[in-house]
Amino acid sequence: MDNILLDSLRCPASGAPLSLDGDRLVTRSGLSYPVENDIPIMLRQRDRATLWVADASLNRNVDDPYRIDTLGIGDADRLKLAAQLDLHRQSPLPVDPVVSALIVATGGHMYRHLQHGLASLPIPELRLPDGQNKLLLDIGCNWGRWSIAAARRGYRVVGIDPSLGAVLAAKRFAERNDLRASFVVGDARCLPFAQRTFDVTFSYSVLQHFAREDATQSIAEAARVTKSTGIFKCQMASAFGIRSAWHIARRGFRATNGFEVRYYSPKQLRALFSTSFSDVALEIDGFFGLGIQPSDRPMMTPTLRRVLTGSENLRRLATRWPNLHLLADSLYVTGHPRVAHGTIN
C-alpha cells in the first residue's frame, strides 16, 4: 500500500490512526478493516448506506475477482457484464468490460446505444491547474474517470467510492497506464482520512444524488480533510437548467427519493456549501444535461454531438456573459475550507 495513503488513513469510527497487519488495517483499540488487493475497505456495518453498493462491498462475493455484485448496475446489466467478462478472459477487449458496463448503465440515455462495450476510454479535461505533485481526493470516484484525469495532470490521486468493483476497475486502469493513484472503499459522509490531508478535494456527479442531510455531512467532511490553503471543486445539478427543469416537471414536482438527482438553485447551492467553505463560487460545467464532456464525442450519436456542441458554445459565451450560469444544467461549486470540521484527526 502507498505510504502516503497509509499515513493519512484514519478509522472512520474513532478517528484513530491505523497500522497494517497482514490483510487488515487495525487500531490500537482493536477495530479493524479489511484490505483487498491493496484497497482498504473503510466501511462501517452500522452506517445507513447512501447507495446499496456499500452493503454489497461489505458482504462481497470473494469468489469473483471483479466483484460485480458490488457494482451500481441492474440485474440485466450484470448478466451482460458476466458474458462480456467471459469473452474478455478469452481475448482481451479494448476497454475493461466493467468500465464499459458502468458507463453504459450510469450514463442515463446518453450511452445506451453502446450495448457491446467501448472501443476507447473517454478521459475528460480536469478544469484545475496542473497538479505539480499535489494530493487530490476524488470523492465518489467510481471507475476512476476523474481520478485518471487528475493523475494525468500531475496530481497524486486518492479515489474513494463505496463500490469495491468500481474501485478495482479504477486500480486496474491506473496500473496499466503507470499512473500514480491509490483507491479506498469508503463513505463520503465519513471520510477515513486525517484532517487537512489534501491540497484539492474534488467530486463529480455524486453529492447531487444525496439527500440534503447526507450532502451537508459530506461537504463538512470534504472541508475537514482539505488543507486550509486548499480548494474543493464539486459538480452539482442546477434547477434552472433547461433539461433540469424538464426533469423536475416530468417528476411532477414531487420530492426526490433514493439516489435520484437533487436540483438546487444557484442561491441554494451557495448556501449549502457556505456552511463549510468560504469564497464559494459557481462555474459552468455544461448545458442541456448532466455529465456531458467533450471527451465523450467519439462515443456519441450525431444528435448527442449537436447537444455537446451547443453546450460548449454556450460555455464559451459565458466568459463574456457570466449570468449565463443561471441557465446551465451542470455547475461546479468551488470554495476554500473554513476552520475545523468533524472529529477525525
Full DSSP string of 107-167: SGGGGTT-TT--SS---PPP-S---TT-EEEEET-TTTHHHHHHHHTT-EEEEEES-HHHH
Distance CA 23, CA 7 (A): 16
Question: Minimal CA–CA distance to 229: which of 336, 129, 131, 127?
Answer: 336
pLDDT given at position 277: 97
Sign of CA dihedral 134, 135, 139, 143: positive
**What is the C-alpha R_g of the chain?**
19
What percent of the chain is modeled with pLDDT above 70?
95
pLDDT given at position 237: 96
Ordered DSSP codes for 240-254: TSHHHHHHHHHTTSP
Q: What are phi and psi of 89, to 5 degrees?
A: -65, -35
pLDDT given at position 109: 60
At 129-162, the pLDDT tens digits run 999 999 999 999 999 999 999 999 999 999 999 9
Distance CA 267, CA 216 (A): 15
- Asked if residue 65 has pLDDT above 80, the reply is yes
Residue 48 DSSP label: P
Question: Considering the chain, what is the average pLDDT of its residues?
Answer: 91
pLDDT given at position 94: 87
Maximum C-alpha span of the chain: 59
- Asked if residue 113 has pLDDT above 80, the reply is no
Sign of CA dihedral 75, 144, 141, 266: negative
Distance CA 125, CA 122 (A): 10
- Asked if residue 165 has pLDDT above 80, the reply is yes
Average pLDDT rounded to a whole number, residues 43-61: 88
Residue 281 DSSP label: E
Average pLDDT rounded to a whole number, residues 286-309: 91
At 179-233, the pLDDT tens digits run 999 999 999 999 999 999 999 999 999 999 999 999 999 999 999 999 999 999 9
pLDDT given at position 116: 59
pLDDT given at position 4: 85
Cell of 94: 479494448
- Asked if residue 119 has pLDDT above 80, the reply is no
| pTM reported for the whole predicted model | 0.94
| Of 5-9, 20-24, 62-66, 216-220, highest mean pLDDT | 216-220
- Asked if residue 52 has pLDDT above 50, the reply is yes
- Asked if residue 278 has pLDDT above 50, the reply is yes
Neighbour-count burial of 182, counting CB atoms closer than 10 A to its CB (0-12 exposed, 13-18 middle, 19+ buried): buried
pLDDT given at position 341: 47
- Asked if residue 345 has pLDDT above 60, the reply is no
- pLDDT bracket for residue 344 (50, 70, 90): low
Distance CA 235, CA 231 (A): 13
pLDDT given at position 232: 98
Neighbours of 84 (CB within 10 A): 18
CA dist list (Å): 116 to 87, 93, 94:
11, 10, 11
